[in-house]
Amino acid sequence: MSPETAAASALTGEITDPRDLPGRLGIEYPRWREPEEVTVNVQMLEAPPADGRDVELEKGPNIQEFPDFGELADAFRLPVLLKVGDDVSTDEVMPAGEAVLPFRSNIPKISEFVYYRRDPSFHERALAARESHGGHVLVAGDNYAQGSSREHAAIAPRYLGQLAVLARSYARIGWQNLANFGIVPLEFADPADYEGVDQGDELEVEGLREALENGGEIVLHNRTKGTEIPTKHSLSQRQIELILDGGVVNFFKRRL
Residue 163: the pLDDT is: 98
Domains and CATH numbers, the chain: 1-45 (no CATH), 76-255 (3.20.19.10)
| Contact assessment for residue 188 and residue 228, using Cβ atoms and an 8 Å cutoff | no
pLDDT band for 22, please (50, 70, 90 cuts).
very high
The pLDDT of 29-40, averaged and rounded, is: 80
pLDDT one-digit tens code per residue, 188-228: 999 999 999 999 999 999 999 999 999 989 999 999 999 99
User: Who contacts 92 (Cβ-Cβ below 8 Å, separation ≥6)?
Assistant: 84, 115, 117, 118
Q: What is the pLDDT of residue 57?
A: 84
CA gap 162, 256 in Å, rounded: 27
**Greatest CA span in the chain, whole angstroms?**
76
All residues at 6 or more sequence positions from 99 whose CB lies less than 8 Å from its CB, including other chains: 113
* pLDDT digits 0-9 by tens, 133-164: 999 999 999 999 999 888 999 999 999 999 99
Contact 242, 182 (CB under 8 A): yes
H helix or E strand, kind and range, residue 145: none
Instruction: Specify the DSSP class assigned to residue 231.
Output: E
What is the DSSP track for 186-216?
A: EEESSGGGGGG--TT-EEEESSHHHHHHHT-
Cβ within 8 Å of residue 21, ≥6 positions away? 8, 11, 27, 28, 29, 30
CA nearest 179: which of 165, 196, 161, 198? 165
Torsion region of 226: left, alpha or beta (phi above 0 gives left; psi -120 to 50 gives alpha): left
Using pLDDT thresholds of 50, 70 and 90, give the confidence band for residue 107: very high
